């Protein structure tokens, strides 16, 4: 689904964040969720790779939602792709959520700024309220108005989510959309990479269009932090992962790998260099 263009690397402006999180401010990434074709196998892969604990909650007669935890705090989740999603040809993938103060208002604003609303807003039990939206360039994300569940409870350490890059054929149009909808600021970096931030805190980026493969669909690429990128990459390969690129070093930033789990969902591993 994703490969890096030759001789190009994403540029993560990594900053230390608090390990335990109880609340996500509006506009920040707050949740990551795997949609897969083989939930038990995916659960085994990620628990073996990251040491996550897991808890399965029924969602119907033959359906359940897997919550992954690290230090007893929410780290990610997993569910099985719905039949209608498979009929549309949607492959296994990682979803990303953005925290908002109002799902209703943000959904309307996103639609007014050129986004396509796929579903929502709707309540997820008492956990929160959400919508799933595509930006004007086609990259899909979800918004989350927290109620009982604020989202990720841990970041900034081994096996936790740490960053997201937007792969899009039109970075300028995408940047304008997210700026208008979420109040993001864009700080230009080397080689045209744009660092996403709010109030001086950087938490994502938009690489130049030249970084992407020509036929790659627009998408958000998520990163998980690891203590040793080479060791984690080797372990992932042993568990059946397909290594697309890396391990490779990003000067003054860290070391990373782009890979796909055994079902085909693409993600990245990132080891920050000491500051």
pLDDT value of position 1: 28
pLDDT value of position 112: 98
pLDDT value of position 68: 98
pLDDT value of position 260: 98
Tell which residue, 152, 150, 168, has the closest CA to residue 225.
152
CA distances from 156 to 14, 16, 206, 220, 268 (A): 10, 6, 21, 19, 15
Q: Which residues of the chain have pLDDT under 50?
A: 1-17
Provide the 10 A C-beta neighbour count for residue 211.
Answer: 21
Phi, psi of 97 (to 5 degrees): -115, 145
Write out the two tokens for 268: 């990245």
Bridge partners (DSSP) listed for residue 220: 166
Residue 233 parent element (H or E): helix 229-238
pLDDT value of position 171: 96
Give me the half-sphere count of Cα atoms (radius 13 Å) on the Cβ side of residue 208.
Answer: 11
pLDDT value of position 19: 85
CA distance 195 to 186: 5
Radius of gyration of the chain (CA): 17
pLDDT value of position 100: 98
CB 165 within 8 A of CB 220: yes
pLDDT value of position 211: 84
Q: E strands of the chain, at which residues?
A: 29-36, 53-60, 63-70, 73-80, 93-99, 116-124, 128-134, 140-146, 161-167, 185-188, 194-198, 201-206, 219-225, 242-250, 254-260, 266-272
In sequence order, the 6+-apart residues with CB closer than 8 A to the CB of 100 are 26, 27, 106, 143, 144, 145, 182
pLDDT value of position 121: 97
Domains of the chain: 29-146 (3.10.180.10), 161-272 (3.10.180.10)
CA distance 116 to 138: 8
- pLDDT tens for each residue of 64-109: 999 999 999 999 999 999 888 888 888 999 999 999 999 999 999 9
- pLDDT tens for each residue of 161-195: 999 999 999 999 999 999 999 999 999 987 889 99
| Continuous H helices in 59-202 | 83-87, 103-112, 171-182
């Amino acid at each position: 689904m994703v490969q890096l263009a030759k001789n190009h690397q994403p540029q993560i402006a990594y900053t230390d964040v608090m390990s335990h999180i109880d609340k996500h401010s509006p506009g920040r990434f707050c949740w990551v969720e795997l949609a897969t074709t083989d939930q038990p196998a995916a659960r085994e892969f990620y628990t073996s790779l990251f040491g996550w604990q897991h808890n399965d909650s029924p969602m119907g007669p033959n359906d359940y939602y897997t919550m992954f935890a690290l230090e007893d705090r929410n780290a990610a989740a997993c569910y099985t792709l719905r039949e209608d999603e498979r009929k549309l040809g949607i492959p296994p993938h990682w979803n990303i959520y953005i925290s908002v103060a109002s799902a209703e208002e943000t959904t309307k604003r996103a639609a007014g700024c050129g986004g396509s609303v796929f579903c929502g807003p709707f309540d997820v039990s008492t956990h929160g309220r959400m919508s799933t939206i595509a930006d004007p360039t086609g990259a899909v994300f979800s918004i989350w108005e927290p109620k009982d569940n604020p989202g990720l409870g841990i970041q900034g350490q081994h096996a936790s989510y740490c960053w997201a890059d937007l792969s899009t054929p039109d970075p300028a149009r995408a940047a304008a959309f997210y700026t208008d909808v979420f109040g993001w600021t864009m700080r230009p970096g080397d080689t045209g990479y744009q660092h996403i931030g709010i109030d001086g805190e950087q938490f994502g980026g938009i690489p130049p269009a030249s970084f992407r493969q020509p036929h790659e669909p627009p998408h958000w690429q998520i990163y998980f932090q690891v203590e040793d990128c080479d060791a984690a990459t080797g372990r992932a390969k042993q568990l059946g992962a397909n290594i697309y690129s890396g391990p490779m070093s990003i000067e003054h930033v860290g070391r990373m790998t782009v890979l796909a789990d055994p079902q085909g969902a693409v993600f990245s591993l990132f080891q920050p260099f000491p500051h």
